[in-house]
Structure 1
Amino acid sequence: MDILIANKIPAKVFGLLCQTEDFIALMKKFSAHGYFSQIQDINNFQQAFTGIDAEYVVYLLDLNCAEAQRVLIEADNEKLFSSPHRWIITNPKDTTYYENLSIFPDSDMTLVTFQSTSNDAFVQKVYRPSLAHDVIYESYGFWNVNYGLNVTIKDVFSANRRKNLFGTVLKSCLVITHNNSMNHLLDKRDRHIDTIAKVNYVFILHIRDLLNVKMLFSIQATWGYKNNKSEWSGMIGELTRKEADIGGTPLFLTIDRVSLIDYIAMTTSTKSKFVFRQPKLSYITNVFTLPFKTEVWISSVTLVIIISIGLYLVAKWESQKYKKLEIEHEEFIEPKFISAFFMAFGAACQQGTNTMPHTISGRIITIILFTSLMFLYASYSANITTSWCRRSSSTSIQTLSDLLHSRLQVGVDDTVFNRFYFPNATEPIRRAIYLQKVIPSGQAPRYFQIEEGVKMMRQGLFAFHMETGAGYKLVGETFLENEKCDLQEIQFLEVPDPWLAIQKNSSYKEMLKIGLRKIHESGIQSREVALLYTKRPTCDSRSSAFIGVSIVDCYPAAKILLVGYLTAICIFVGEILYYRYRVKMQSQKLLT
């Protein structure tokens, strides 16, 4: 009872006892302290091992019982010595009772040895680093009938006490996608190739030193995926078959993997995203319509129409006035609405006119026309210049839907996980991107090596899906400073950062987690990540970049000019045909 209280264990106690008089005494003692107790006849001990919430159970075993050794063997077969099961064993015998048991570092087995001359007892913890090692006894404390339990152990958390595994052999599986990476795991060369494997290889070496283990490495080309026979390949296959203890390369946390392996730490915050240079504003939209909002455009057109009507009325009044005076002048505005409209439209385009009103009212209207449209023209042209020279990149592509419906081509880094996740995408937008842009009908699949993909991305109008830490290294080496300012990212894979994994229910889980936490807290993790992963380049020279005007920028204006030419030619041809038709008709009348 003192051991349970000292460890603050909310327990259900199962007493595997052989003395009938012990049953009632123990039940009274435990009930008095608020513990649930169930005394199980040692001859029917299998019933105590089934249907129990192991986290709250403590097994109490008396080794003086004849069936005690068989209980230990059966419990070992049921893997009841691993965490979170707890055992308290009284009257321990010699070490032959434990030499073949799987009491690994995560076990919680307490031995209580009573002295023959008194009711005092020594309390010990027992474990072994592996089956190849002898049993290790830890002094836990001393119990006295008058003073209770005196705990002498310094750290009650076993994972901290047992961090020395005395050369235990652990196996780690690395995922290497390029064979040459085996020659550069530590020298920081080719940082953009197998980056995640190289970073975590260093962490595994630190774990080896922290736990004093011997690490054996195996190599796989994939992280592991389920085949048609529901068997797992790659690193996950080794972990599930217990051929490896630790996954040396992090992998994504997915639902179908949770029941197979345990995730212990997120060591590298790496992302795979679509990265592209934002296309020019004129490539996405018509820059000649951007300077004004719709309300301003409507107001400007309304102003031109109103002034055109005013000029028409003035011109008509002047025509009638001077006609009575029999005065004719070629600079008078022709009393037609179309003439007044073209005069107002020419003013909007900052063009002069060869006709002017001669009355004061007409000249006031003209002054208002040119003054108001001068300010509009100045604002319009300044905004277009700004769009070309300062905000030449569009920010309209922000989501996967925008990318799908854009004119950008798409490419994917040719890696194992990209070739797995892209074809298996089920979300409609992601599925459409894969079918329409990654494997377009009638074309070769658009998987590229990372060097080629970054090169195409620099040329523009190309989105490349890559691991950002590795890809930005090439971006920093090949892009000009102003080109780095246009970079945009869009997340495609719906997975969190990759985590290191180990065997399911591994006996070394807590020690490995503590070791990786120490690597993180000491700064080793951030240092190694910074040495191999490149952050997104910063934009330092956007304002100094000179961007020339291309045909794409002038396309709307050229289109209007072309339409104007074609319309003028058609009207010209129509006039010629109409003129010839009238001449022909007049000739026929003269003949008749």
Structure 2
Amino acid sequence: MMGDFNVSFNSRVTILHLEESEHSFYDLHKVGNGTDLIVSHIGTGEVWDRSFLDLRPARDSLQKITMPTALVCRFPDQFIFTDELYDIHLDILPRLHYSLLVNLIDQLNVTIDLRFVYDYGWMNESTGLFDGYMGLFQDGQIEIGTSGVIMREDRYQVIDYTVQIYPLESVTIFRQPSLASVSNIFTLPFATSVWLSILGFCLMAAVFFYQQLFAGRRYDFEHGYPHAVSPIGVGFLILGIMCQQGVSETPTSLSSRCTLLMTLIASLLCYTTYSAHIVALLQSPSHVIQNAEDLLQSPLSMGVGNATNFNRIYLQESNETFIKALYDIKIKPQGEDAYRAPAEGIAKVRTELYAFQLITHFAYRRISDTYTEGEKCALHELHILPFPILAIPVKKYSPYKEIVGEKVLWQRETGVTSRIGNLWIPPKPNCDAKVGAEFASVKLSEFLFPLKLIGTGFLLAIFIFLLELIYHQHFDGSLERNTLSQENLIRIHGDQQDSNLKGFSFGRKRAWAS
């Protein structure tokens, strides 16, 4: 008769069998619906002796019943269902969880009915229904889960959480942008005080040199400088010296030569110091990104890994101000292009000004396999999106919650899960070389400021040239024509006077002759 009752696995049913000499205590339970009732003898004693209730036998075996479960595989085209340690950067989480499930099968003595799903499942707010992994729990199709899931409040209505398993860490990986992309490196070699000192020296040298040349011409002791002395000409001369262009002619006076020599020496020292600093700055990254706000203001574009939907959901649901701003400015304008496979995102970090948000399990192995030592040292991490606790789920009110939690906890306490994690979870890549040890070619972005300066100078020269043409055609031409007209009038007037004088003289001669 008792076999007709549904005595669940986690129930505590004790039967007392009354006999003449002694009384027997029995524990009853079933391992699953439709299975036979399991009766275990606890002991004999008096009716009032309740110590026997603490002597119930351990329920460690599920008698090979079939247990429906599921495994989440986000990339089915890359899935490799094997325990062999190759291509371990593919499907890390399914392999990790399946290894734990294999041990759990032996611990529980069950047979599993394993199915695969491609998403962890999120609730549709309009219908209240879950899809994917969570949808199977909601429909009652699976009893326990193989893949660990993050703890969310909306999932408590369809599942119960057992114990935490492998901790996951979500990071934003990026390379610091070069100094040229965030500042003008051509002004960085010298401090402001040094630039002002150089400017003051150039002005002082120009004034001295101009006075020496002017005095030498006036008192006739400067014969080696054939050009006309003007402030603009001397200014261009000093500028050419500071730019390592030299001089075409040298003065002959001793004072002028001393001034020229000191200017050349100062130019050489400034030039060598400036060049050395520029080379170092071109090869050096900046350190402007230290937190999420710096990343928001930086020129880096940003992407999110699609290995899990947690990053996508968290970015959309977060109420934190800087995370909402990061999503609205860096992620949302890209649409679906912002969500990339881990391998694609890590490759973009290597070659572009790009920040990629993903779980470290998917990043570290790819970085170790594809990055050089210098590139590894140039990487930086920001912990922007904290990853919540990951736990093994069971169906809501499942009778197996307690035993599953106990067995998984036993694996964790005995070091089994740590060993599995060491096999599958890649460690953080070590930096064995100094940052910047590798040569980096100068890109157009680093040379953009000089190009802008040169282009602006050429445009200004063309503009001034056009103004000069207009001025000489309209103003100098009319003035020259007016001058010529006045000269012609004077010449004509003079010719008329000459002819009148000649006629008057000829008339007088004729009069005298008569």
Q: Which moved more, 1:123-132 or 1:462-471?
A: 123-132
Across the aligned residues of Structure 1 and Structure 2, the Cα RMSD in angstroms comes to 4.4
Q: Aligned partners of 1:341, 1:497: CA distance in 2, in Å?
A: 70
Does structure 1 retain, via aligned residues, the 8 Å contact 2:305–2:342? Answer: yes
Aligned-residue offset at 1:203: 0.6
Aligned-residue offset at 1:115: 7.8
Counterpart of 1:285?
A: 183
Q: Which moved more, 1:229-238 or 1:325-334?
A: 325-334
Q: Which moved more, 1:222-231 or 1:427-436?
A: 427-436
DSSP-derived class of the 1:499 partner = strand
Counterpart of 2:201?
A: 307
DSSP-derived class of the 1:553 partner = coil
Listed as ranges, the gaps of 5+ residues in structure 1 are 1-95
The change in CA–CA distance for 1:166 and 1:570 in structure 2 (over 3 A counts) is: same
Equivalent residue in structure 1 for 2:102, among 205, 230, 238: 205
> What are the equivalent positions in structure 2 for 1:137-536 lying under 5 Å apart?
137=40, 139=42, 161-179=58-76, 184-188=81-85, 190-227=87-124, 228-292=126-190, 296-297=191-192, 299-308=193-202, 310-311=204-205, 314=208, 318=212, 325-329=219-223, 331=225, 345=239, 348-350=242-244, 352=246, 376-389=270-283, 391=284, 393-414=285-306, 417=309, 421=313, 424-427=316-319, 430-431=323-324, 434=327, 438=331, 440=333, 445-491=337-383, 493-536=385-428
Does structure 2 retain, via aligned residues, the 8 Å contact 1:310–1:365? Answer: no
Q: Aligned partners of 1:496, 1:371: CA distance in 2, in Å?
A: 64
Counterpart of 1:589?
A: 483
CA offset digits 1:131-178 (Å, max 9, x no partner): 524344464796799xx987897xx7x8x9333333344332222334
Does structure 2 retain, via aligned residues, the 8 Å contact 1:141–1:152? Answer: no
Aligned-residue offset at 1:365: 7.7
CA offset digits 1:426-457 (Å, max 9, x no partner): 5565555555555647x874444444444444
Counterpart of 2:509?
A: none
Does structure 1 retain, via aligned residues, the 8 Å contact 2:25–2:43? Answer: yes
Q: Aligned partners of 2:266, 2:58: CA distance in 1, in Å?
A: 85
Task: Report % sequence identity.
Answer: 23
The change in CA–CA distance for 1:534 and 1:190 in structure 2 (over 3 A counts) is: same
Q: Aligned partners of 1:138, 1:291: CA distance in 2, in Å?
A: 87
Taking structure 1 as the reference length, the TM-score comes to 0.66
Q: Aligned partners of 2:202, 2:232: CA distance in 1, in Å?
A: 8
Structure having the higher helix fraction is 2
From the CA coordinates, give the structure whose radius of gyration is larger: 2
Does structure 2 retain, via aligned residues, the 8 Å contact 1:413–1:447? Answer: yes
Aligned-residue offset at 1:583: 5.4
The change in CA–CA distance for 1:587 and 1:422 in structure 2 (over 3 A counts) is: farther
Q: Aligned partners of 1:245, 1:435: CA distance in 2, in Å?
A: 40
Counterpart of 1:100?
A: 5
Counterpart of 2:461?
A: 568
- Residue 437 of structure 2 is aligned to residue 539 of structure 1: no
Counterpart of 1:74?
A: none
- Residue 459 of structure 2 is aligned to residue 556 of structure 1: no
Counterpart of 1:134?
A: 37
Q: Which moved more, 1:576-585 or 1:334-343?
A: 334-343
Does structure 2 retain, via aligned residues, the 8 Å contact 1:288–1:384? Answer: yes
Counterpart of 1:85?
A: none
Q: Aligned partners of 1:317, 1:163: CA distance in 2, in Å?
A: 105
- Relative contact order, CA 8 A, sep 6+: which one is greater? 2
CA offset digits 1:556-592 (Å, max 9, x no partner): 2222223233333444454455455335424413423
The change in CA–CA distance for 1:520 and 1:375 in structure 2 (over 3 A counts) is: farther
Q: Aligned partners of 1:207, 1:431: CA distance in 2, in Å?
A: 41
Listed as ranges, the gaps of 5+ residues in structure 2 are 487-514
Aligned-residue offset at 1:206: 0.5
Aligned-residue offset at 1:266: 3.2
Q: Aligned partners of 2:155, 2:225: CA distance in 1, in Å?
A: 87
Does structure 2 retain, via aligned residues, the 8 Å contact 1:263–1:502? Answer: yes
Aligned-residue offset at 1:207: 0.9
CA offset digits 1:198-241 (Å, max 9, x no partner): 21012112011112223222333321211231112222233244
The change in CA–CA distance for 1:500 and 1:349 in structure 2 (over 3 A counts) is: farther
Q: Aligned partners of 1:402, 1:562: CA distance in 2, in Å?
A: 32
Q: Aligned partners of 1:138, 1:339: CA distance in 2, in Å?
A: 115
The change in CA–CA distance for 1:423 and 1:485 in structure 2 (over 3 A counts) is: closer
Aligned-residue offset at 1:461: 3.2
The change in CA–CA distance for 1:417 and 1:317 in structure 2 (over 3 A counts) is: closer
Counterpart of 1:80?
A: none
Aligned-residue offset at 1:511: 2.5
Aligned-residue offset at 1:533: 3.3
Amino acid across the alignment from 2:37: D
Aligned-residue offset at 1:264: 2.4
Does structure 1 retain, via aligned residues, the 8 Å contact 2:136–2:142? Answer: yes
Amino acid across the alignment from 2:442: V
Q: Aligned partners of 1:108, 1:244: CA distance in 2, in Å?
A: 24
Q: Which moved more, 1:192-201 or 1:337-346?
A: 337-346
CA offset digits 1:367-408 (Å, max 9, x no partner): 87666665554443222211233x2x4443454544455444
Amino acid across the alignment from 1:552: S
The change in CA–CA distance for 1:535 and 1:117 in structure 2 (over 3 A counts) is: closer
Aligned-residue offset at 1:501: 1.5
Does structure 2 retain, via aligned residues, the 8 Å contact 1:225–1:233? Answer: yes
Q: Which moved more, 1:471-480 or 1:230-239?
A: 471-480
Does structure 1 retain, via aligned residues, the 8 Å contact 2:70–2:145? Answer: yes
